[in-house]
A and B are shown apart, each in its own frame.
Chain A
Amino acid sequence: MSESPLISVRKLQKSFGELEVLKDINVDIYPGEVVCVIGPSGSGKSTFLRCINQLETPTGGEIRYKDQVINSKGADIRQFREEVGMVFQRFNLFPFKDVIGNVMMAPVLTRHKSKEEARAYGMELLKKVGLESKAAVMPRMLSGGQQQRVAIARALAMDPTALLFDEPTSALDPELVGEVLNVMKDLARDGMTMVVVTHEMAFARDVADRVIFMSDGYIVEEGPAREVIEHPQQERTKAFLSRFLES
């Protein structure tokens, strides 16, 4: 790819006390790319994602966004977070706001959009995730899958350049996973840059451009999605994927 990366991670390290979770992570994320991060529990996938937008402060290394270092002292991480959205495993919707209120809040506060404008755009996004009829409903009345789709619409309301997904379907009942993955597939098709930590191997294989396999704080293997998932080269990757490949 000739373009310069949107997000570039170099020598990323993260320790919690004695525990080294990330040891040496190097990744480039290019515009329009869908990258899935897979690996066993405790391998550091979520920590890696949370270090990118500094929900966790990296212990070492460098993260660049559009060629600006964003994890140095004095860097404007808020600006980065405005431009790169995040979707959480447990949705984290605001329980005291209705669905449209959740989607409208950030554009009104940070972009100083008028409420009418934010509402109109919010309704458009809810339509996109198939929930325009739920605009006035409180989040607790929705299923997990619906809540996650609202969370995606909420992130899209900021017109992000990229979205980070932290196990977006892991908290869902199995029959609700599909509706969320479908919304994510639509986003991928529209060219959204996405970094997805996931256990959905079929999604990674079919939707991702690239798959990163992490284990014990390192990237063990990475490459084109289908290649890594169907023909892993490393023993650790083979062992991890064996259950999926057999089925």
Chain B
Amino acid sequence: MSGNSSTSRKTPDPVPASGTSPPLGDKRAVPGLALYTVLVPVLAGAAVLTAAACAPAMGVFLAVLTLALTAWSARRLAGLAGRAEGERCLLTAKLMQSQKLAAVGELSSGIAHEINNPLAIISQEAELCGALVEAKGAMDPELADCLAEIARQVARGRDITRRLLDFSRKMEPVTQLESLDRAVEDMVVLVEKEARLRNVNVIRRYDPDAPRLLIDVPLLRQAVINLLTNALDALEEKDQAGGEEAHGTIVVSTWRSGPGEAAITVADDGPGVARENLARVFHPFFTTKPPGKGTGLGLSITHNIVERMGGRMEVVSEPGQGAAFTIHLPLKGETP
């Protein structure tokens, strides 16, 4: 499993320098392992042999030297082992997070199926109800209003179940060669138009030599518009809190996040994600927005899409400073 979400607490960097934030779970080559397994033992052995053949004073010196050498070597090896263990723990935690998301996805698609049937019956009955009253010539505006409201709420319920089913659908991505900026530009244009009305600045930082990637273009667009919608929502919150001078900026950048990776970052300078929520933002149904405004599905869908393309997601946020969500995608675009 390669798609992992990671969370970290740093000041969001809306202009990621290329090559920063190394991919997590990266197999770093242990430098000079041969030093500890070959060179140190050979040196120690040589010291013992030399000591046997020369003056006692020299022997003492060599003994001390060997002691220091082996002690240092053992310490370094213990350090390396500790670090490897730490990395493995981190990877396990990420794997569990990913499996948890998958399990919740499955559960919610089951629930969505179950809820669809009663929703269908409610809407049919409401329609029938309207028709019956109408036939009796007894329809009055208030009743019509009630029936229309029932229909609206059913539609809302259906929308949620549809998104849920979407979320758990295990559709294979259909990939095409496309550059990231071309894939996301239309979504940015759409957001820009609405952002202007709200005094929000949208800044593009597209990598001029962005490579073309194998991506599922419409799915990636969907992932990106979810991030953009969240950024706009976050800035609206800030606007309400901050009054006059609070305007807000969204920075959309495409960049090389590693040797085999390209990335899209959507950063805003809104209120950011509260520390205690950082690990939960990708969970389905996790939302801090009022009912009717957010269902908490946007980021879990986005996460799911990115994972299906063999990528991973990352969030960086400092409360009060803003949030930056990054989609990392493998350059080859091949899903494992």
The judgment on whether A and B are partners is no
